[in-house]
Amino acid sequence: MSRKTVAHQLQEANEEQAREFFERTLANLPDPRRRQGMRYPLRTVIVIALMAMVCGCDDAEAFEAWGEANQKWLSTFLELPHGTPTQDVFLWVLASLKPDSLREVLRSWAVWLALKLGKTENCGHVALDGKTSRGSADKANGKNAIHTVTAFLVGQGLVLSQKKVDAKSNEITAIPEVLRTLNLRGTTITIDAMGCQTEIAKTIIEGEGDYILGLKDNQPTLHADVALTFACLPATHEVSTVQSEQDANTFETVEKGHGRLEIRKVELTRDLSKITTKERWPGLSFLTKVTRQRTILSTGKESEEISYYIGSSPTETAESAGTKIRRHWSIENELHWVLDMAFREDEARHRAGFAAENMSILRHFAINMVKSDKTRKLGVSNTRKIAGWDRNALLRILAGANGLF
């Protein structure tokens, strides 16, 4: 069964079907170990590693300690014929297990959580961005740090899919692979300027989704054409909802906080007459200009930043496009920052085999589980601590994960 088919089936399945698929996917993880001398079932190793990570453990040594401390309880629902796994077992399994297999479990779990939590205002918005796990670099053996592209469900804060960037490649080739694992129908994909590529736009349109792509000098002709388009539009200082080709639909916000005043003006036009390369961009429907004017209140110092974007939706307005552009950066605040601060990802030193990549997948898995707890009142870091101290809190987080056991 192809990944695309799996993703589409999961998206269209009801909650129970998605949970059952998750259970089957976990049960069918291919075990990289030889059967001779195997002391710990793969299911046991993965479940303990995941639960320990939810409880604040960030490495294999901590996984072992947490397992030992909770062995009596764990034995009530896991096979522990020789006690709980040692750190060497965790490291060997994580270094040997093919990441694509573990990633498939994450994907099915994320879709089930999205169905379980229900749709939100931003359920149809998926942000893609890359992150480097700096601690995974092994200069002594000539290994660079792993760089991962992640699809993040904005509004629900869930990781839908991820893909390691090949050592001899870059995000441009990894992004289409991530997109093909998702059901894009009815979804708006936002990507920064690195993802402003015709092949990426084509992949999204073929998947029946829409895109909003950042635009910089990596597309010099398109960037110049878009800048010229807005320079030739008649000046307007009023918020409007005009949708004609010649007038820009404008939306403006004024915010004061953190010692500064910021005015954000979003302009959207469907005038593509000056876009000399428009035939190369599948689905291209509108252009957007975002002007950010900032004033530092203590000094009166002013600055201005202008960004351009291209998009495909025929119904997008300046307000809705501006909201998605701003919400795109939630992947930085709600995922990348959490990975660095709550999971200390940049300090992780797992380097053998697939260990670094699989640990990254487990972190994303744990984030999804913590965020699925609707009673959560604290941030991810403190929630993990409480889960480690209070088994009832852990069980509450795992309540949506009963398919694990």
Long-range contacts of 71-80 (CB under 8 A, 24+ apart): 73/391, 74/48, 77/405, 78/41, 78/43, 78/44, 78/47, 78/48, 78/405, 79/41, 79/43, 79/44, 80/40, 80/44
Residue 250 included in any domain: yes
Residue 376 pLDDT: 80
Per-residue exposure over 164-191, b if at least 16 CB sit within 10 Å of its own CB, e if not: bbeeeeebbbbbbbbbbbbbbeebbbbb
Residue 327 included in any domain: no
Rounded average pLDDT over 363-373: 84
Q: Is 386 helix (H, G, I), strand (E, B) or coil?
A: helix
> Range of 291's domain?
209-319
Residue 326 included in any domain: no
- 342 pLDDT band, cuts 50/70/90, is confident
- Are 100 and 38 in the same domain? yes
Residue 312 included in any domain: yes
Task: Among 319, 342, 376, give the residue marking a domain's end.
Answer: 319
- Are 310 and 175 in the same domain? no
- Are 175 and 49 in the same domain? yes
Task: Among 254, 286, 319, give the residue marking a domain's end.
Answer: 319
Domains identified in the chain, total number: 2
- Are 169 and 36 in the same domain? yes
- 364 pLDDT band, cuts 50/70/90, is confident
Q: What is the pLDDT of residues 264-315, one digit of tens each?
A: 999 999 999 999 999 999 999 999 999 999 998 888 898 999 999 999 999 9
- Are 285 and 362 in the same domain? no
> What CA–CA distance (Å, rounded) separates 338 from 159?
12
- 140 pLDDT band, cuts 50/70/90, is low
φ, ψ for residue 294, nearest 5 deg: -120, 140
Residue 204 included in any domain: no
Between the CA of residue 326 and those of 184, 191, 284, 295, 386, what are the distances in Å?
Answer: 20, 12, 20, 19, 32
- Are 312 and 374 in the same domain? no
> What CA–CA distance (Å, rounded) separates 189 from 194?
14
Residue 319 pLDDT: 93
Both structure tokens of 87: 């750190």
Task: Among 291, 319, 347, give the residue marking a domain's end.
Answer: 319
Q: What is the pLDDT of residues 186-211, one digit of tens each?
A: 899 999 998 999 999 999 999 999 99
Nearest to 61 by CA among 86, 41, 82, 42: 86
Residue 192 included in any domain: no
- Are 87 and 21 in the same domain? yes
Between the CA of residue 32 and those of 42, 63, 71, 78, 380, what are the distances in Å?
Answer: 9, 20, 24, 20, 32
> What CA–CA distance (Å, rounded) separates 138 from 388?
31
Taking a C-beta distance cutoff of 8 angstroms, is the pair 151, 101 a contact? Answer: no
State the DSSP code for 138: B
- Are 60 and 11 in the same domain? yes
Q: What is the pLDDT of residues 3-54, one digit of tens each?
A: 444 445 544 555 555 556 556 667 778 888 877 767 888 888 998 998 999 9
Taking a C-beta distance cutoff of 8 angstroms, is the pair 277, 226 a contact? Answer: no
- Are 57 and 15 in the same domain? yes
Residue 198 included in any domain: no
- Are 137 and 99 in the same domain? yes
Lowest mean pLDDT among 131-140, 214-223, 292-301, 355-364: 131-140
- Are 178 and 227 in the same domain? no
Determine what percent of the chain is predicted with pLDDT higher than 90. 38
Structure pTM? 0.78
- Are 146 and 114 in the same domain? yes
- 348 pLDDT band, cuts 50/70/90, is low
Select the more confidently predicted residue: 131 or 76.
Answer: 76
Lowest mean pLDDT among 66-70, 106-110, 238-242, 271-275: 238-242
Residue 193 included in any domain: no
